[in-house]
């Protein structure tokens, strides 16, 4: 049998990595012994903390040409966020919790998308529906993904399903949910030793919005000023990346995980429209967004509307 390639989006976050590993386990229990988790980017410190805590190996970096290969996508569906040869692959399944955009396949597939806070929450439901075993390390990865995407249940994308799943899974994983969750988030929150490229690429996605290509990166921190003091260097790196990759607008979202606020840095010819999307004006290419923490629910929709 051929390998079934399972992976999340580029610049993978904790949900993308953990959900790939979880889905591979699900497929193997389902009888697909050739299912294997991959990654299409480097891990951030938060994700590494989770894998180390539960003693799970880092997925192999995907370098294969996917032409004609069996593929399962988790935590994404937009091709510009996926592997380079995804358009030539045979996509069998998609498990996701994002908008559906720029997605088309030649044949039918199993597609499951639900408006919950995390892909791992959907996977938890799939295990329960089939009465599959959730081993402690798999439960731990599910908890980690939910905590990450929901910012320990503070994000507006978080649903009651996410909270209930995390509580049940924490018991299986034998962790204190609040203590483990906060320690994991803090592990990924320090930016002191990160380069500008690392800050901009660890959690970044490209979106088609009207006639524009918009790059939106997000970094979590416990001190927004720790990032803002590097604004000039960050803007230089953002402008360089935009010139090299054809981004019309580049937005960096700096999120305070303790106080649930964000500040954005924006570059690009249409940058003022980003400010307008949030009913504010950019000041020195920045704007403070109180209560905004979710890229999916609070950042992407208003910018999309402003640019469409």
User: In sequence order, what are the residues at sequence separation of 6 or more whose Cβ sits closer than 8 angstroms to the Cβ of residue 107?
Assistant: 90
Contact 46, 186 (CB under 8 A): no
Comparing C-alpha atoms, which of 51, 39, 37 is closest to residue 188? Answer: 51
3-state secondary structure the chain: CCCEEEECCCCCCHHHHHHHHHHHHHHHHCCCCCEEEEECCCCCHHHHHHHHHCCCCCCEECCCCCCCCEEEEECCCCHHHCCCCHHHCEEEEEEECCCCCCCCCCCCCEEEECCCCCHHHHHHHHHHHHCCCCCHHHHHHHHHHHHHHHCCCCCCCCCHHHHHHHHHHHHHHCCCHHHHHHHHHHHCCCCCCCCHHHHHHCCEEEEEECCEEEEEEEEEECCHHHHHCCHHHHHHHHHHHHHHHCCCEEEEEEEECCCCEEEEEEEECCHHHHHHHCCCCCECCEEEECCCCCHHHHHHHHHHHHHC
What is the rounded distance in angstroms from the CA atom of residue 246 to the CA atom of residue 232?
A: 21
What is the rounded distance in angstroms from the CA atom of residue 205 to the CA atom of residue 188?
A: 18
Which residues on neighbouring strands pair with residue 30, listed in sequence order? none
Annotated binding site: 9, 13, 15, 75, 97, 149
Comparing C-alpha atoms, which of 92, 97, 98 is closest to residue 72? Answer: 92
Annotated binding site for Mn(2+): 9, 13, 15, 75, 97, 149
């Amino acid at each position: 049998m051929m390998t079934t390639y399972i992976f999340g989006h580029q610049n993978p976050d904790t949900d993308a990595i953990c959900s790939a590993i979880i889905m591979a386990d699900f497929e193997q229990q389902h009888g697909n012994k050739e299912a294997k988790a991959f990654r299409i980017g480097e891990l951030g410190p938060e994700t590494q903390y989770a894998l180390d805590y539960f003693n799970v190996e880092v997925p192999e970096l995907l370098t294969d040409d996917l032409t004609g290969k069996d593929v399962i996508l988790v935590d994404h569906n937009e091709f510009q966020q996926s592997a380079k040869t995804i358009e030539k692959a045979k996509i069998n399944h998609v498990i996701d919790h994002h908008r559906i955009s720029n997605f088309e396949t030649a044949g039918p597939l199993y597609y499951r998308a639900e408006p919950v806070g995390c892909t791992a929450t959907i996977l938890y439901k799939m295990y329960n529906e089939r009465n599959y075993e959730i081993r402690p390390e798999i439960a731990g990865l599910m908890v980690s993904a939910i905590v990450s995407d929901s910012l320990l249940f503070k994000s507006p994308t978080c649903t009651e399903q996410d909270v209930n799943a995390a509580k049940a899974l924490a018991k299986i994983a034998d962790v204190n949910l609040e203590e483990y969750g906060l320690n994991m988030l803090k592990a990924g929150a320090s930016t002191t030793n990160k380069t500008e490229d690392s800050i901009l690429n660890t959690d970044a996605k490209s979106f088609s919005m009207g006639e524009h290509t918009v790059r939106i990166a997000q970094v979590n921190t416990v001190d927004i000023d720790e990032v803002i003091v590097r604004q000039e260097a960050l803007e230089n790196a953002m402008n360089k990346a935009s010139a090299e990759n054809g981004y019309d607008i580049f937005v960096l979202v700096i999120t305070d995980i303790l106080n649930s606020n964000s500040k954005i840095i924006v570059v690009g010819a249409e940058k003022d429209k980003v400010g307008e999307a949030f009913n504010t004006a950019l000041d020195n290419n920045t704007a403070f967004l109180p209560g905004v923490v979710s890229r999916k629910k609070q950042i992407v929709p208003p910018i999309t509307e402003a640019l469409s």
